[in-house]
Chain A
Amino acid sequence: MFTSCADPGSLEGLAWLVCYLTTGKHMAFYGSFGTVLLLIALAAPSALAFGFAGAMAARSHIAPLRWLGMAYTGMVRGIPDIVFFLFFVIALDQGVEWLNHQIRCPDWPAEVRQGTQFLVCPAAKVPLSSTAQFWHQAYGFGLAVVTFALVFGAFAANVLYGAMRAVPHGQLETAEAYGMTRRQTFWRILVPQMWVYALPGLSNLWLILVKATPLLFLLGVQDIVYWARELGGSKTSAYAYPHPDWRLWYFLGLLVFYLCFTRVSEIVLDRLSQRLSLGQATEAGEAQRKAAA
């Protein structure tokens, strides 16, 4: 990066450290923090959407829809994350390629499945093998977002389902007495009031999601934990910057990052909780009302 870093062997002390911390590999490490934050930023709202849909389905009066909602939360919550990440993502990836194969190469003579091999025609590869590595990474990242959304959506569905049931029944009966339809009651009475009950569960999920990102590496996306391990491992002089085992320092850095991140999350969630309690028929809402009076 700097011209003074051309010959790392001759550097010492601070100059060495500055050059070391600005190598291409370290830049990739810093960039991976962005990857992780982007993943969280995309996965959290999608998981919430999945959760909301799941909870609505589980409460539905239409039996098949209700079964679907129940099956979704039950199955996904019952399978260990790592199994889900290994199995589901491979199945999803192969499913996409298989569909693409059926569309693009209907006359392909060979079997797609040959023993342990899974071979679609070259034109049906997603992404094509000739595309740049960046797109392969982006595709893996996309799969990761979908998987995270599905897994955490199932947990969120359960939290939201419970929250919907926690809203005092009198509120819903009153709405009905005022002549609101079921749909109106749901959107105008139930949903605005349920968030305060859902928040503790959702905030737990959020913090678990923040820490679950190392699962990314299973999908070939290089996240911060991968880079910390790779950079911290002892390096012989095959590398330009040889050093002993420094994993401790890199993981300490990650520790600080995660602690800061969870602290910021806690502050934001606290504020949110206060805001949501405003005017609610809960203890916190009551306390706020009394303080104002």
Chain B
Amino acid sequence: MKKLILTTAALALTAGMAFAAAHTQTVRLGTEGAYPPYNFINDAGEVDGYERELGDELCLRAELTCEWVTNDWDSIIPNLQSANYDVIIAGMSITDERDQVIDFTQNYIPPAASAYAALSSDVDVTSAVVSAQTATIQAGHVAESGATLVEFATPDETVAAVRNGEADAVFADKDYLVPIAEESGGELVWAGEEVQLGGGVGLGLRESDGELRDKFDAAIQSMKDDGTLNAMITKWFGDTAVVF
């Protein structure tokens, strides 16, 4: 009995200390959790992927306590604005339009190609029905290309739309489509030309959070300098991925 009380007291004490430590400053990292290998919910139910590993490392280097939060892609910027989390780390490409609303750190993935995947390689991507995720640079590009755009809320649905014939091709980051095309057993093939879009992927922060932005900027720079960032990109996106 005595032992039990002691253990409980010890537990309560450590819990209290942990709470006090966490109380200093917790940075909440918002991600989508549906975009492998960038970020996804693994089978244990936790956020996993390139950005999980990167985010944890950045928080370590910037000496911040970080917590992971998932949020729908659709509302990921509004929820940052109303401070439900402090950082967007969700494969978000740096574009001028977004830069007017939020702030970006320097990129942690260099500008990479977007590509079309379809059931046959001779789909004319300028006139076909092309699926893309809502509010992405790819959706914007398809809308301008002359093709008919069908938008979906999640990346997975854009690919499913091609498989079940709802769309002729899917347009997305090539790094996202590569594993899917490779594992489709020849069902999905590349179509059209690859396109360079955006200025790479960066962390998104509120415009009023300059200090936090500088911390993350410095952490990303230090990872670029010592080569760990390139190693991480190669680990998650394969040897063919573009590195710094």
CB pair A117–B207 under 8 Å, yes or no, is yes
CB pair B44–A23 under 8 Å, yes or no, is yes
Provide the residues of chain A in CB contact with B81, threshold 8 Å.
Answer: 116-118
Q: Tell yes or no: B36 within 8 A of A by CB.
A: yes
Q: Tell yes or no: B2 within 8 A of A by CB.
A: no
CB pair A120–B83 under 8 Å, yes or no, is yes
Nearest residue (CB) in A for B24 is: A130
In the complex with contacts A130-B23, A220-B71, A238-B46 CB distance below 8 A: no
Nearest residue (CB) in A for B40 is: A238
| Chain A residues within 8 Å of chain B by Cβ, number | 37
Assembled-state Cα–Cα distance A33/B183 (Å): 33
Provide the residues of chain A in CB contact with B65, threshold 8 Å.
Answer: 130
Q: Tell yes or no: A233 within 8 A of B by CB.
A: yes
Assembled-state Cα–Cα distance A117/B86 (Å): 12
Provide the residues of chain A in CB contact with B42, threshold 8 Å.
Answer: 25, 239-240
Q: Tell yes or no: B137 within 8 A of A by CB.
A: no
Nearest residue (CB) in B for A245 is: B160
Provide the residues of chain B in CB contact with A114, threshold 8 Å.
Answer: 208
| Chain B residues within 8 Å of chain A by Cβ, number | 43
CB pair B43–A237 under 8 Å, yes or no, is no
CB pair A230–B41 under 8 Å, yes or no, is yes
CB pair B183–A119 under 8 Å, yes or no, is no
Tell me, rounded to whole Å, the shortest Cβ–Cβ distance linking A89 to chain B.
Answer: 11
Tell me, rounded to whole Å, the shortest Cβ–Cβ distance linking B205 to chain A.
Answer: 11
Tell me, rounded to whole Å, the shortest Cβ–Cβ distance linking A225 to chain B.
Answer: 12
Q: Tell yes or no: B213 within 8 A of A by CB.
A: no
Nearest residue (CB) in B for A25 is: B45
A 203-242 contacts with B by CB, 8 A: 217, 220, 229-230, 233-234, 236-242
Contact of A241 among B23, B26, B27, B43 (CB under 8 A): B43
Assembled-state Cα–Cα distance A242/B206 (Å): 36
Provide the residues of chain A in CB contact with B156, threshold 8 Å.
Answer: 233-234
Tell me, rounded to whole Å, the shortest Cβ–Cβ distance linking B96 to chain A.
Answer: 17
Provide the residues of chain B in CB contact with A136, threshold 8 Å.
Answer: 69
Q: Tell yes or no: B115 within 8 A of A by CB.
A: no
Nearest residue (CB) in A for B71 is: A220
CB pair A125–B45 under 8 Å, yes or no, is no
B 18-40 contacts with A by CB, 8 A: 22-28, 34, 36-37, 40
Tell me, rounded to whole Å, the shortest Cβ–Cβ distance linking A6 to chain B.
Answer: 12
Assembled-state Cα–Cα distance A283/B23 (Å): 65
Nearest residue (CB) in A for B19 is: A130
Provide the residues of chain A in CB contact with B183, threshold 8 Å.
Answer: 236-237, 242
Q: Tell yes or no: B67 within 8 A of A by CB.
A: yes
In the complex with contacts A23-B44, A239-B40, A240-B43, A117-B160 CB distance below 8 A: no
CB pair A129–B206 under 8 Å, yes or no, is no
Instruction: Show 12 A/B contacts (Cβ-Cβ < 8 Å), sorted by A.
Output: A25-B41, A117-B82, A129-B86, A133-B69, A217-B72, A220-B84, A230-B34, A230-B41, A233-B160, A238-B37, A238-B49, A239-B42
> Which positions in B face A, CB cutoff 8 Å?
22-28, 34, 36-37, 40-46, 49, 65, 67-69, 71-72, 78, 81-84, 86, 101, 154, 156-157, 159-160, 163, 179-180, 183, 206-208
New A-B contacts (18) at CB < 8 Å, excluding given A25-B44, A239-B43: A23-B44, A25-B45, A93-B82, A114-B208, A116-B81, A117-B82, A119-B83, A119-B206, A129-B27, A130-B25, A130-B26, A133-B69, A220-B84, A233-B156, A234-B159, A234-B180, A236-B180, A240-B43
Q: Lowest 7 A-B CB distances belong to which pairs?
A: A233-B156, A24-B44, A24-B45, A238-B36, A23-B43, A130-B26, A236-B179
